Amino acid sequence: MIKKISISLVISFICSLASAQQNVSFRQANIVSPVVNEAGTVTFSLRAPLAQTVTVHGDWEANGGLGQMSKDSAGIWRYTTGKLPSDLYMYAFSVDSVRMVDPSNAFSYRDVGNLFSLLIISHGNGDYYSVNDVIHGNVTRMWYPSAQYKTDRRLTVYTPAGYDKSKNKYPVLYLLHGSGGDEEAWVTLGRVPSILDNLIAQGKIEPMIVVMPNGNPKQAAPGETSENFNYRPVMTQYMPNFADGSYEISFNEIVNYIDSRFRTRPEKSQRALAGLSMGGFHSLLISANHPDLFDYVGLFSPGTPSSRALDPTRSAYQNLDEKFARQKKNGYKLYWIGIGKTDFLYEGMQAHRKRLDKLQFPYTYVESERGHIWSNWRSYLLQFTPLLFKK
Amino acid sequence: MIKKISISLVISFICSLASAQQNVSFRQANIVSPVVNEAGTVTFSLRAPLAQTVTVHGDWEANGGLGQMSKDSAGIWRYTTGKLPSDLYMYAFSVDSVRMVDPSNAFSYRDVGNLFSLLIISHGNGDYYSVNDVIHGNVTRMWYPSAQYKTDRRLTVYTPAGYDKSKNKYPVLYLLHGSGGDEEAWVTLGRVPSILDNLIAQGKIEPMIVVMPNGNPKQAAPGETSENFNYRPVMTQYMPNFADGSYEISFNEIVNYIDSRFRTRPEKSQRALAGLSMGGFHSLLISANHPDLFDYVGLFSPGTPSSRALDPTRSAYQNLDEKFARQKKNGYKLYWIGIGKTDFLYEGMQAHRKRLDKLQFPYTYVESERGHIWSNWRSYLLQFTPLLFKK
């Protein structure tokens, strides 16, 4: 029989459980960092009483994303930014030249080879990057058999709320990561589940499946191959098979797999392809080499044939003008290009636009502020997806 | 037309791309950390030329999981452990009393409120925690409608390789996390996808679905609720609705949802339930309150009614001896208990065993070395799953 036990006993049990738990400590107890202030500024705090210099560096524009922190008498370093626009921001501390994430912040993601702490500023784009009280889609980490690479390869797939229960068929957006990224990038820093959930809930986009493959030949996200923890993430151009065009040529094997595995509408008018940076380059080449697959193409800060040295012996890169001409003749509903004014790929894009203009190849061109950063790529996704799959 | 471009141009392009990439730097270039040495020891390295004291602390037993690092003339701190058994290990550095993950190690997971860096030592249990060249199952982060909590709640579901292609029905293991954990814990530190993939590939277990719900009433993993990044993970006992028994009483809503959504074998003989710590306590109570649901029960370092103060007004906690008697009469195939000799819940478990013995309630009891740690819980999963769903 259960004995009635007093509240004080319950509390003492709870305390003993907490202190006895092994391998678990709490985040720095009295520090809350970051704090988004009412003025839209952000205050970072770190307890480091013995440090000589502490800086915070992030991807906001105010103060160049850099702040020299100041120490109080209790050994706590603080810095407050200027007012920041609504967005998701990445940051890290440098403590006497040692880089570290914020130990008071539970939220960090990897970008290529570094961890970053994260924060969201609301009342704008940041609201779309947040989990809100709406119905949510599911995210599956799965594998498809690649005939091209003779191995099973990873795919991350978002299915919208209601997919499981309905018998409907859905359009599909294929969304590609950049150099150094992987099939996790658009889910973590790209905030795809939140963006799609929120835009669908607001009726701004069609419910759609989003497929996020891995654009590094033979690779998968760190820890998802037999290299395990020995894998050290690098930029894609340091990987074997980079830029041999095999991914672009064989991309239809991913489309075929998705059409066989999910309730898709397997038609050109119900497929979109977009990517950032290297993934934009891939989208450009995949759509040119497979002109029957996609009615919607999005190039987000893309590499272009003008900005990138292509191996002319590879079929994916041959006869590009002819391929663009055929793509135009085949027809498509949207060819959307977005790039930031300070992007290091900006000049290459202008050269590529001249090439497209000469071919009278229609496209929508959007120029944003700033450069080659996630802030732009998430924003482009917010602009691009409402244009898809219109009747 | 594509111009042939010399190798040197290609290389200069690659270098300019790497240096121009914003928001991305590489891990400390000349440092490889950790290094698993041939002798089975591990060497940790950190560049921190200005630091006064650097320690590494982890969950290995040798040296008490603590090492004072030594600085060389280049400002690189190093420490080498004793020989460690094959396992997955968690560690972090303390640099002049500031806690941080290893900036040279790409692999880190959160446990309750802290990040840890990870490493695997092979040639033993560690091989089961590694991704090997076998066929892989899929992992889905999904949501189910909870009538009990009047909200959609998160579930993480592993489906074994072949599930998508076959029309077979599969048995299901429900696997519950501990206090402070969530629906991610068994996937990240618990290594469920690797353990299941590897044991299935070796023919040691039946292919099965593994369902990992969230045992914190109304909660989800950090960043998966509308609290977003304001959420600060805490031990479950600091959450509302802790220990009101509602989760245990309403657990059948999860089972019903899974049976409706997946190709399960919806029978007691094809269902198992296990959990660690608080999840072991939940498994004990859920199976006692739902004696028709599970033929296999696993309690890994569980809290017990003997170690935990229960609110006697809650139906889940009432008449437990009668419930155990009915559970015994109903029959089950395995009731497996594992606990470490130095676990802080060890004495409570011995009191609970006396209670079960008095009721002549059959169970399998396994005592391991060490205490309340992930090393034991992964090892228990390796021992428990091969016993499930035998004809």
- What's the pLDDT tens digit per position in A92-144? 999 999 999 998 888 888 888 888 999 999 999 999 999 999 999 999 999 99
The verdict on residue A206 lying in a domain is yes
Instruction: Quote the pLDDT of residue B29.
Output: 55
- Cβ contact, residue pair B143, A143, below 8 Å: no
E strand or H helix that includes residue B369: none
Based on the domain organization, do A55 and A151 belong to the same domain? Answer: no
Q: In this predicted structure, what is the pLDDT of residue A390?
A: 82
pLDDT per residue over B185-202, tens digit each?
A: 999 999 999 999 999 999
Rounded distance between C-alpha atoms, residue B236 and residue B217, angstroms: 9
CATH number where B146 lies: 3.40.50.1820
Kind plus residue range of the DSSP H or E element containing B71: strand B70-71
Residues 6+ apart with CB under 8 A from A242: A216, A217, A236
Residues A160 and A235 in one domain: yes
Q: How many domains would you assign to chain B?
A: 2
Q: What is the pLDDT of residue A234?
A: 73
Contact A235 B179 (CB under 8 A): no
A298, A275 Cβ separation under 8 angstroms:
yes
Q: Three-state SS for A182?
A: coil
Could you give the CA distance from residue B243 to residue B308 in angstroms, rounded to a whole number? 10
Clarify whether residues B159 and B51 are in a common domain: no
Q: What is the CATH classification number for the domain harbouring B88?
A: 2.60.40.10
DSSP string, A318-366: SSHHHHHHHHHHH--SEEEEEEETT-TTHHHHHHHHHHHHHTT---EEE
Q: Does the pLDDT at position A29 exceed 90?
A: no
Partner residue facing A113 (CB), from B20, B106, B305? B106
In a domain? residue B254: yes
Q: What is the pLDDT of residue A309?
A: 76
User: A201 and A99, same structural domain?
Assistant: no
Whether B8 is in a domain gets the answer: no
How do residues B133-164 score in pLDDT, each as one tens digit? Answer: 999 999 999 999 999 999 899 999 999 999 99
Most confident of the following: A1-10, A23-32, B234-243: B234-243
Domain boundary among B60, B93, B123: B123
Largest CA distance in chain B: 86
Candidate from A107, A179, A222 with C-beta closest to B223: A107
User: Residue A86: inside a domain, yes or no?
Assistant: yes
pLDDT at A23: 35
Determine the Cα angle at A345 with ends A344 and A347, to 5°.
Answer: 100
d(CA A213, CA A155): 5
Residue B63: what pLDDT? 85
Whether the Cβ atoms of residue A46 and residue A35 lie closer than 8 Å to each other:
no
The region, left, alpha or beta by phi > 0 then psi within -120 to 50, assigned to residue B388 is: beta
Inside any domain, residue A89: yes
Residues A171 and A296 reside in one and the same domain: yes
CA distance A111 to chain B (A): 7
Q: Residue A114's Cα: distance from chain center in Å?
A: 15
Q: Residue B318, class by beta-carbon neighbours within 10 Å (0-12 exposed, 13-18 middle, 19+ buried)?
A: middle
Cβ(A288)–Cβ(A327) below 8 Å: yes
Give pTM, 2 decimals: 0.92
Per-residue CA distances from B52 to A51, B49, B68, B96, B113 (Å): 9, 9, 11, 6, 26
Amino acid A282: pLDDT: 97
- Residue A116's domain comprises 25-123
Chain A residues within an 8 Å CB radius of B103: 98-100, 114-115
pLDDT at A59 over 80: yes
> Which of B73, B95, B123 is the endpoint of a domain?
B123
Same domain, A73 and A203: no
pLDDT tens-digit readout, B57-102: 999 998 889 999 999 999 999 999 999 999 999 999 999 999 999 9
Q: Identify whether B132 is part of a domain.
A: no
Instruction: State how far residue A200 is from chain B, nearest Cα, in angstroms.
Output: 16
Residues of A in contact with B140 (CB under 8 A): 138-141
User: Does the structure show a pLDDT above 60 at A16?
Assistant: no
Q: How far is CA A113 from the centre of its chain?
A: 15
Is residue A16 in a domain?
no
Are residues A142 and A119 both part of a single domain? no
B194 & B332 share domain? yes
pLDDT computed for residue A218 by the predictor: 74
Residue B4: the pLDDT is 37
Query: Average of pLDDT values for A282-298?
Result: 98
Q: pLDDT tens digit string along A370-387?
A: 999 999 999 999 999 999
DSSP state of B372: S
- Pairwise CA distance, residues A190 & A177, whole Å: 9
Residue B22 to residue A373, Cβ atoms within 8 A: yes
Q: How many CB atoms lie within 10 A of CB A219?
A: 23
Q: Between A and B, how many CB-CB pairs are < 8 A?
A: 249
What pLDDT is stored for residue B15 in this prediction? 33
Q: Same structural domain for residues B118 and B90? A: yes
Q: What's the pLDDT at A14?
A: 35
The model's pLDDT over B211-247, given as tens digits with 9 standing for 90+, comes to 999 998 877 777 787 777 777 777 777 676 778 899 9
Give yes or no for residue B208 having a pLDDT over 80. Answer: yes
Same domain, A351 and A294: yes
Partner-chain residue, chosen from B21, B99, B106, that has the shortest CB–CB distance to A233: B106
Contact A113 B24 (CB under 8 A): yes
SS3 of residue B243 by DSSP: coil
| Gap from B241 CA to chain A (nearest CA, Å) | 14
CA distance B32 to chain A (A): 9
Q: Of B123, B155, B177, at which residue does a domain stop? A: B123
Kindly report the nearest CA distance between residue B366 and chain A, in angstroms: 20
Is the distance from CB of A372 to CB of A301 less than 8 angstroms? Answer: yes
- Identify the residue among A37, A69, A107, A374 best suited for mutation to test binding to B, counting B beta carbons within 10 A and taking the highest: A107
Q: Tell me the percentage of chain A whose pLDDT exceeds 70.
A: 92
Residue A207: cis peptide before it, omega within 30 degrees of 0: no
User: What angle in degrees, to the nearest 10, is found between the helix axes of B320-330 and B346-358?
Assistant: 60
**Banded model confidence at residue B34, pLDDT cuts 50, 70, 90:** very high
User: Do B71 and B181 sit in the same domain of this protein?
Assistant: no
Is B160 part of a structural domain of the chain? yes
Q: What is the pLDDT of residue B28?
A: 56
Q: Assess whether pLDDT exceeds 80 at residue A20.
A: no
Q: Strand (E) positions, B72-180? A: 76-80, 87-95, 98-100, 108-111, 114-121, 138-146, 151-159, 172-176
Q: What is the mean pLDDT of chain A?
A: 89
Residues B280 and B383 placed together within one structural domain of the fold: yes
